[in-house]
Amino acid sequence: MRRVPIAPRPDWRRRAEACGFQFHTIDGAPYWDESAYYAFTLEQIEQHLESPTIELHQMALALVDEVMASDALMEHLAIPEAFRDYVAQSWRRRDPHLYGRMDLAYDGHGPAKLYELNYDTPTSLYEAALFQWEWLENQRKRGALPAQADQFNSLHEALVERFAELAMRLNPPLYFAAVGLSAEDQGTAAYLRDCATQAGLSAGAIALEDIGVASDGRFTDLDDIAIGSLFKLYPLEDLFSDPFGLELLRSNLQLLEPAWKLVLSNKGVLPLLWERHRGHPNLLEAYFDDGAPLRPGWVRKPLFSREGANVEMHLANGRFLHEAGPYSGTAIRQQLHLLPSFSGHYPLIGSWVIGDAASGIGIREDSSPITRDSARFVPHAIVDEVVGPITIEA
């Protein structure tokens, strides 16, 4: 694994916008960064990223089955009591799911380590699935990459195939919703809607704040048409804490992602997985706040924190890093395993699961060991062999 500098294409912004990638720049700062790419060998991809992703995913699903049978575990995961039956029923019905992303620390040596699961509202999908592939094809054509360079990326095909599998399992009509003023969320929802359309599904689009509730409990669009299934790029825990969310309990609305995904969007799964698979090479030691002490060097994360907010990093040398944010309440502590540093660039690998299959990776890179919402997306490529020294700072 290497971080390889490469000249950005002079027309990359035009190409991004032609592809529908409208959020390549956020708040005036570049989000897409093609001034470098991460080079992997095929062995690193297959053995250290793809295979562990499949195994960790199956471990996570087995944990959901256990949590749904235990009110004590639901309490531990801060699932609201009013919604526990609702969540459990969605699992018992095996309500279908679409996708998830697990965040991994990996430096090209040894096993990747699971930082957390993002299985309810994962983003950075469009840029991973489409635009980094466009970058690869174009750079091969220009001769900037070897003709045989490849990518761990079957995301688009996997999404279309998954929507085709879901076609007979979703209640029509299907709508895609995200917060109206979020360009990134709207872009992700629009891309997924396009994938569904390519799979033959008819799907509408609506801003989340425009969804209404009829007197009989049905969720409706602006024309009072009842919504049968809703892909909502909005955290379930926030939906459940809103009075609007209580309407779900008397509605037959089918959610995508389903309610049982609340378990796997929760940092509490990390100590539960460690407890059941202690010493697993891809897991980091983790406990709830009231659990066993950790060795020097650990990270504290609120159960529902996102984008690095409210993460506390306690380094073994006494140094302390902290990101401000709106999250509080119950937290977990995880043994510190720093991201590798490539000359001050810290890459976090997002390994995507579509349905139940490992389907590709995307890399977000920050100048801090804590990956924040300002992190940049950097493409990757698989090359036949890694040439030259690998420089990774401690």
| Domain-ending residue, one of 300, 318, 335 | 335
Does 220 reside within a domain? Answer: yes
What's the number of domains the chain is made of? 2
273 plus 261 within the same structural domain: no
118 plus 28 within the same structural domain: yes
Instruction: Write down the pLDDT at residue 343.
Output: 93
37 burial class (0-12, 13-18, 19+ CB within 10 angstroms)? Answer: buried
Q: What Cα–Cα distance (Å) separates residue 334 from each residue in 23, 286, 306, 331, 358?
A: 33, 4, 16, 10, 25
Does 391 reside within a domain? Answer: no
Segment 27-36, tens digit of pLDDT: 888 999 999 9
pLDDT above 90 covers a percentage of the chain that reads 89
311 plus 355 within the same structural domain: no
314 plus 180 within the same structural domain: no
Segment 27-86, tens digit of pLDDT: 888 999 999 999 999 999 999 999 999 999 999 999 999 999 999 999 999 999 999 999
- Give the pLDDT band of residue 394 (cuts 50, 70, 90): very low
98 plus 10 within the same structural domain: yes
Segment 227-265, tens digit of pLDDT: 999 999 999 999 999 888 899 998 999 999 999 999 999
Does 389 reside within a domain? Answer: no
139 plus 9 within the same structural domain: yes
For residues 120-138, average pLDDT = 96
Q: Kindly report the average pLDDT of the chain as a whole number.
A: 94
Does 388 reside within a domain? Answer: no
Q: What is the pTM of this model?
A: 0.95
233 plus 303 within the same structural domain: no
178 plus 279 within the same structural domain: no
184 plus 304 within the same structural domain: no
56 plus 126 within the same structural domain: yes
Does 387 reside within a domain? Answer: no
pLDDT at 295 over 90: no
288 plus 208 within the same structural domain: no
Instruction: Write down the pLDDT at residue 29.
Output: 87
Segment 358-391, tens digit of pLDDT: 999 999 999 999 999 999 999 999 997 544 333 3
Which domain, by its residues, includes 356?
Answer: 2-268+339-382
For residues 338-350, average pLDDT = 97
pLDDT at 392 over 50: no
Does 393 reside within a domain? Answer: no
145 plus 292 within the same structural domain: no
Does 134 reside within a domain? Answer: yes
Name beta bridge partners: 102.
117, 351
Does 82 reside within a domain? Answer: yes
Measure the CA–CA gap between 190 and 181, rounded to whole angstroms.
13
